[in-house]
Structure 1
Amino acid sequence: MGPRSRHTAQEGVTLCLLEMNLLWCEKVQINPRTTAKDLVKMLVETGTKVSISTVKRVLYRNNLKGHSARKKPLLQNHHKKARLRFATAHGDKDPTFWRNVLWSDETKIEWFGHNGHCYVWRKKGEACKPKNNIPTVKHGGGSMLRG
């Protein structure tokens, strides 16, 4: 056996041991904002030394990919019900009605802090789940521009 097969075997053993510890994937699915660096620190505390790239490889093999979290309005249940009532009440309106509606855009500007950009580990098709989004609020601590 050449050095290539030995390297592959070592990598396979390492990945098998890491995949046995599915606690990582469960931890990432509970809190998608957990970073690979946090997982490495957690493993070092248990006595296992691995690299960040190995942790990422295990997450990729479990179909967890790193994506930017989407910013979505923080909606309570009563907000969702009100939107549904509005949609059902106005769903049959003629397109000419909607051309006469005056629409306005609002943008919140943050004065302090960062823009809240972060990454999440998620599977394909889970982009709109609330735990994978950054909730945004239109009131409190900012300047509102209307256009």
Structure 2
Amino acid sequence: MKIYTLHSKQNLPISLDEAWKFLSNPRNLKTITPDYMGFEILSGADRPMYQGQLIQYIVTPVLGIKTKWVTEITHVADKKFFVDEQRFGPYSLWHHKHFLKEIDGGVEMEDIVDYKIPMGILGQMVQPILVQPKLNEIFEYRRKKLIELFGEFK
């Protein structure tokens, strides 16, 4: 069983309060997800984030194949971190930790995603040529979109 990790950090020139308000609102996921992914929330985003919250959505990650994805917010520490875990969806494991930290001139946002691809050895073969590049592309889109929304950290 191979578990992969994606690690990302980004500094934004905004307050911790502003960062938390935006990032902890499940409705804002659509804003920071590429349009081609057809991201659509089906349920669970009708109130501020809380531990135990289930969010159901549809994504179209590859080849126009619509995929239902259900995540649970398993941990929340106000203005510090939250964790979402896939309950149903395309991965065998998806554990995404979001950390926020106040720094001089803004906030540091850190993501650590641990994930496992289904389909055994076949999944391991497509990981470096399909899955990892696609995840990198999605996180790069998010980085650029956050700069567009909040400005670039100097």
Greater share of residues in strand:
2
Report TM bin, short chain: under 0.3
TM-score of the pair, normalised by structure 1? 0.18
Instruction: Compare the two structures and name the one with the higher helix fraction.
Output: 1
